[in-house]
Amino acid sequence: MARDVRLRVIHKDQLRSRLEQADPVVYLMMRVITDRFRSSVKVLAGIQAPDAPVSNAEIDMTVETVIDKFRLEAELRYAIRNQELQVFYQPIIDLKRGGCAGFEALVRWPHKEKGFISPEIFVSLSEETGLIRELGNFVVNRSIRDLRRLTDEIDRMARLYVGINVSQQQLSDTAFLDYVSELAASVRLDPKQVKLELTESRLAGDADTAAW
C-alpha cells in the first residue's frame, strides 16, 4: 500500500533557535556532539571548522548552571510537598462601599539558605519541570481555606472573594476546575467567590510571573 511521504525542510536558524530554547542539558549535549563532529571533519578533510570548539570553561560553567537548576527543582518540590511556601493576601478595597471586597493571593518561597526567592524564578521553574500543578493546587487549597477563615473573622455576611493566579495548564484541566469547586463547597463557600486569573501576559505567551 502506497503511503504519502512528506518532507519538511528545517533551516539552520530554526534548529539554532530550538536548541537555544531547549533544556540546558540537551543544549550542552548538542554543543559537545557538534563540536566533536566538526573536529572530526577538520582532521579528515583538512578544513577549518566554522565554530571554535567548546572550551572546558564553557562546559564547566554550563554544567554548574544545570546542577544548580536541578538542585533548585528538588528543593522546590520538597518545599511544595512539605508546605514550606507561604501565601500572603493583598486586600482589594471597594471604593464605592468603603470596605474590603476581597484579596489577591500571592505565593512566596522563603528559602532556608537564600531567603525569599523571586516568583519569577520559582514559578517559571515549576512550569518548566511540571511542578506547576502541585504548586497551583497548594496555592488554591491554602487560599480557599484561608478565605473561609478571613470571612469568619471579618464579616460572615460579606461575600469576600480571593483572586488566584493560575497557569494555562491548570485552566485547560477540567479536573482542576472540579477540584476548585468541590473544595470551595467543602468549606461552605460559593465557587463564585474564587476568581481564577490568567494575566494578559500569559495569554500572550509571555513568561512574566511578577503577578504571582
Which residue type does 209 have?
T
User: How buried is 143 (Cβ within 10 angstroms: 0-12 exposed, 13-18 middle, 19+ buried)?
Assistant: buried
Q: What is the DSSP letter of 69?
A: H
Q: What is the pLDDT of residue 208?
A: 44
Higher local confidence (pLDDT), 200 or 15: 15
Strand runs (DSSP E) across 112-159, as ranges?
A: 115-117
Q: What is the pLDDT of residue 87?
A: 96
Kindly indicate the confidence band of residue 2, based on its pLDDT and cuts at 50, 70 and 90.
Answer: low
Q: What is the pLDDT of residues 18-71, one digit of tens each?
A: 666 666 666 666 666 666 666 665 655 555 544 555 555 555 555 566 678 888
Residue 67, C-alpha cell as written in the block: 546542577
pTM of the model: 0.65
Residue 16 CA: distances (Å) to CA of 25, 34, 207: 15, 12, 21
Q: What is the pLDDT of residue 187?
A: 93
At a CB cut-off of 8 Å and minimum separation 6, what does 107 contact? 85, 86, 87, 88, 119, 123, 135, 138, 139, 212
Q: What is the pLDDT of residues 79-132, one digit of tens each?
A: 999 999 999 999 998 888 878 889 999 999 999 999 999 998 999 889 888 888
Beta bridge partners of 196: 164
154-175 average pLDDT score: 84
> Residue 133: which of 166, 110, 178 has the closest Cα?
166
